[in-house]
Amino acid sequence: MTKIRLLEPDTVNKIAAGEVIERPVSVVKEFVENSIDAGASKILIEVSEGGKRLIRVADDGCGMDREDVVLAFEKHATSKISGVDDLDRIATLGFRGEALSSISSVARSVEVRTKTKSVDPTSTGTGLTIEDGKIQDVSDIGCPVGTAIEVRDLFYNVPARRKYLKSARSELAKITDLVTSYAIINYQISFELFTGKKTVFKSLRSESWDNCVLRILGSDAARSLIPIEARSENVSISGAVGKHTFTRSSPDWIMIYVNGRPVRSKSMVRAVNDAYRTLIPRGKHPIAVISLQIDPSQLDVNVHPAKTEVRFLREEELAEMLTEAIYRELLSLKDTEFSSKQMAALQLQVVEPYEVEPCNIKSSATTSQGVEPGQGQDSDRGMGVESHSAEVRSDKIATSHNALSESEKLGAKIQKILPFTSMPERLEIDLDASIDFRVMGQILKLYIVIEGPDGLVLVDQHAAAERIEYEKLQKKHRSGTLAQELIVPLNLELSPREQVMLEDWNPFLNEMGFEIVPFGGNAYNVRSVPAVGSKLESSESIHDVLKDLFDLGKVSTEATTRDDVLKLFACRGSIKAGHELTWKDMQVLLRDLLACQNPKTCPHGRPTMVTISPLQLEKIFGRR
Ligand code: ADP
Ligand code: MG
């Protein structure tokens, strides 16, 4: 008896559907793409329960006649290509001809009403009903020109898939993101997305994509945009990028389109980031909407069943062209007035950390003194820092005339390795009197070097600050004093997707100290924030926190989530790596850390400090 058998068509369809239709947003994507391909000028999208119960997409495109609509649900049925040669010149969003058949195999019912344009006024449209993947009914009906297609109970017969769906709100957020990303690039089409009676997103067809960008990214972002343009034989690049002064903590707002298709492309996102390399700090990203029109023969869009990835024939060349195009515009900006010091600092930030060799320490100590003349003026002077050793001083004189030498560049990276001999004898701030800790300085803008009772102590300033902040927040949360009212409320602009998420998260955010109220359109007013010092008092940082929260997906009322959120606040509110500390900062940090219940680890469990004992030192130096 043979073991191998051919699968039933229905099974084949379900397997194929697994690749293309992952969640409700995949269905919306396929339908919206079909509507765009059909030349629609208006696309209406309705969902309920985040698309799990119902997805309905209606367009005013070319419609289908009776024979076509029946065929459309066959596997590999497409009007967009006719043979393998066409794969080289795909100009439509669809071409695989499997969306409709796949969707109908994983939904309880699909209903289509469609009508083509006709000169005959008596012509009717066609209605088609599919249940359990089988056509039940085809009939003549009256309906407007275009296509409306409706899917009910997605994955009703695929429990494994259903299990992985997120909350209705999260699914709606994904759908909102998708619709907005298509609306930006297809500005000549009006889009509306609604759920129940509520319009989640609406854009009116216009001549350029400015309006849509404004609606989605908000007015601050839109104001910061500058147009870019470049052209070569096979490629034309257009779009807009944000000024270097408008940054985000994630690359989410770098949107790349290839021939009208939103795509994920690491190389193109990197190309955008590269243009800002020396202009914005590390860890920050610009905003950008980039549309690449590429000769289809230079492109493979058939890499991924959902077509969210593409392969470029000349990827590097293209990336370079994009970086150049953006960089050119940024440079021509009048307000790109960086002082040479700022430029040097920015450049240094992109240098990777390197191993510290003992021989660098001397020159670095002098350099950091040399490049930061203002440093000595602050409060640390009073703590006896100014009495450097003679050796270091002469070193400083020796190197100060040179231009930025290699060792100086390296040296500037090691912040403040101050001469150990001139340290204050004891901390001015009262620590536990029984413990003797001497702060020696900060290195690499990240670690505090301390002589402790058990040897050499290195404290990770960010981990330590996080621990301190976290325990403070825990206390405040317990006593219900987490909120800190802002004297001047902050204005926040949220994208349609974020607005969807906020509705779900707001009660929880309230409990966690945020008061965020709608202010009309995209605008929201932030009246209070969690009390984590001044770190959360900017629209950008609040935005970042919200993004992190929304990325968690579902709101949960469990204590663990609250704790996670406190950790998040603690992280956001804390001194970062790369931040230069004064003596006072270091001392306060150390004092507060030692006062913590659990001073040895950060809230995520990483160590806040390591101790190298005298014995270990002796071993390192071969004394034993
Ligand atoms: P593909 O888009 O890859 O061709 P689909 O399964 O998505 O495959 O659709 C099959 C065919 O049905 C399309 O090629 C198109 O001819 C037709 N079709 C689907 N949706 C629409 C629509 N909204 N308007 C007009 N024709 C449509
Ligand atoms: Mg399609």
**Least confident range of 165-169, 335-339, 514-518, 543-547:** 335-339
- In the three-class reduction of DSSP (H, G, I as helix; E, B as strand; rest coil), residue 122 is classed as coil
305 lines ligand 1 (CB under 6 A): no
Please report the pLDDT score of residue 429 as a whole number. Answer: 44
- In the three-class reduction of DSSP (H, G, I as helix; E, B as strand; rest coil), residue 202 is classed as strand
The DSSP line for 20-72 is: H-SSHHHHHHHHHHHHHHTT-SEEEEEEEGGGTSEEEEEE-S----HHHHHHH
Nearest CA to ligand 1 atom 20: 34
Please report the pLDDT score of residue 83 as a whole number. Answer: 77
Q: How far is CA 495 from CA 25, 89, 180, 189, 546, in A?
A: 18, 35, 9, 19, 12
Separation between Cα atoms, residue 424 and residue 421, nearest integer Å: 9
Identify which ligand lies nearest to the alpha carbon of 105.
1
Identify which ligand lies nearest to the alpha carbon of 128.
1
Whether 559 has a pLDDT exceeding 70, the answer reads no
59 lines ligand 1 (CB under 6 A): yes
Please report the pLDDT score of residue 407 as a whole number. Answer: 39
* Closest by CA position to 307, among listed 93, 98, 105, 76: 93
pLDDT-derived band at 421 (thresholds 50, 70, 90) equals: very low
Q: What contacts 160, CB < 8 A, 6 or more positions away?
A: none
Whether 567 contacts 604, CB under 8 Å: yes
**Least confident range of 332-341, 538-547, 599-608:** 332-341
38 lines ligand 1 (CB under 6 A): yes
**Least confident range of 191-200, 562-571, 605-614:** 562-571
- Residue 61 Cα: closest atom of ligand 1: 24
Identify which of 21, 34, 110, 111 to mutate to test ligand 1's pocket (most ligand atoms within 8 A of the CB): 34
pLDDT-derived band at 554 (thresholds 50, 70, 90) equals: low
Whether 358 has a pLDDT exceeding 70, the answer reads no
Nearest CA to ligand 1 atom 8: 97
**Cα 78 to ligand 1 centre (Å):** 6
**Least confident range of 124-133, 174-183, 220-229:** 220-229
Separation between Cα atoms, residue 394 and residue 387, nearest integer Å: 13
The two tokens of residue 443 are 């290195």
Please report the pLDDT score of residue 127 as a whole number. Answer: 97
Please report the pLDDT score of residue 156 as a whole number. Answer: 92
Residues whose CB is under 5 A from ligand 2 (ion)?
34, 94, 99
Please report the pLDDT score of residue 26 as a whole number. Answer: 95
* Closest by CA position to 509, among listed 522, 527, 497, 495: 527
Identify which of 31, 37, 66 to mutate to test ligand 1's pocket (most ligand atoms within 8 A of the CB): 37
Please report the pLDDT score of residue 291 as a whole number. Answer: 94
**Cα 152 to ligand 2 centre (Å):** 18
Identify which ligand lies nearest to the alpha carbon of 33.
2
Please report the pLDDT score of residue 556 as a whole number. Answer: 64
**Cα 323 to ligand 1 centre (Å):** 36
**Least confident range of 12-21, 120-129, 437-446, 459-468:** 12-21
Q: What contacts 69, CB < 8 A, 6 or more positions away?
A: 112, 114, 126, 128, 138
**Cα 79 to ligand 1 centre (Å):** 7
Whether 97 has a pLDDT exceeding 70, the answer reads yes
Encode 493-516: b = buried (16+ Cβ within 10 Å), e = exposed: bbbbbbbbbbebbbebbeebbbbb
61 lines ligand 1 (CB under 6 A): yes
Nearest CA to ligand 1 atom 27: 34
193 lines ligand 1 (CB under 6 A): no
**Least confident range of 382-391, 515-524, 562-571:** 382-391
Measure CA 407 to chain center: 36
569 lines ligand 1 (CB under 6 A): no
75 lines ligand 1 (CB under 6 A): no
pLDDT-derived band at 130 (thresholds 50, 70, 90) equals: very high
For residue 138, what is the enclosing H or E element? strand 134-141
Whether 537 has a pLDDT exceeding 50, the answer reads yes
Nearest CA to ligand 1 atom 18: 34
Helix axes of 168-185 and 210-217: crossing angle, nearest 10 degrees: 150
**Cα 27 to ligand 2 centre (Å):** 10
The percentage of the chain sitting over the pLDDT mark of 70, rounded to a whole number, equals: 81
Nearest CA to ligand 1 atom 2: 94
pLDDT tens figures, 462-513: 999 999 999 999 999 889 889 989 888 999 999 999 999 998 888 889 988 9
Separation between Cα atoms, residue 478 and residue 225, nearest integer Å: 44
> Residue 402 carries which DSSP code?
S
By DSSP bridging, strand 42-48 and strand 190-195 are parallel
Whether 560 has a pLDDT exceeding 90, the answer reads no
Whether 24 has a pLDDT exceeding 70, the answer reads yes
pLDDT tens figures, 578-596: 889 999 999 999 999 999 9
Residue range 293-313: average pLDDT?
A: 82
Phi, psi of 192 (to 5 degrees): -145, 130
Identify which of 78, 101, 104 to mutate to test ligand 1's pocket (most ligand atoms within 8 A of the CB): 78
**Cα 567 to ligand 1 centre (Å):** 48
26 lines ligand 1 (CB under 6 A): no
Beta strands in 305-391 (DSSP E): 311-312
Question: Beta-carbon neighbour count of residue 618 at 10 Å?
Answer: 11
pLDDT-derived band at 555 (thresholds 50, 70, 90) equals: low
Instruction: Compare 407 and 218 and report the one with higher pLDDT.
Output: 218
Whether 396 has a pLDDT exceeding 70, the answer reads no
**Cα 78 to ligand 2 centre (Å):** 8
Residue range 133-148: average pLDDT?
A: 94
**Partners of 112 in beta bridges:** 128, 149
What does pLDDT average to over the chain? 80
Residue with tokens 């950060």: 602
**Cα 103 to ligand 1 centre (Å):** 12
0.85 exceeded by pTM: no
Beta strands in 539-613 (DSSP E): 609-612
Please report the pLDDT score of residue 558 as a whole number. Answer: 66
Whether 271 has a pLDDT exceeding 90, the answer reads yes
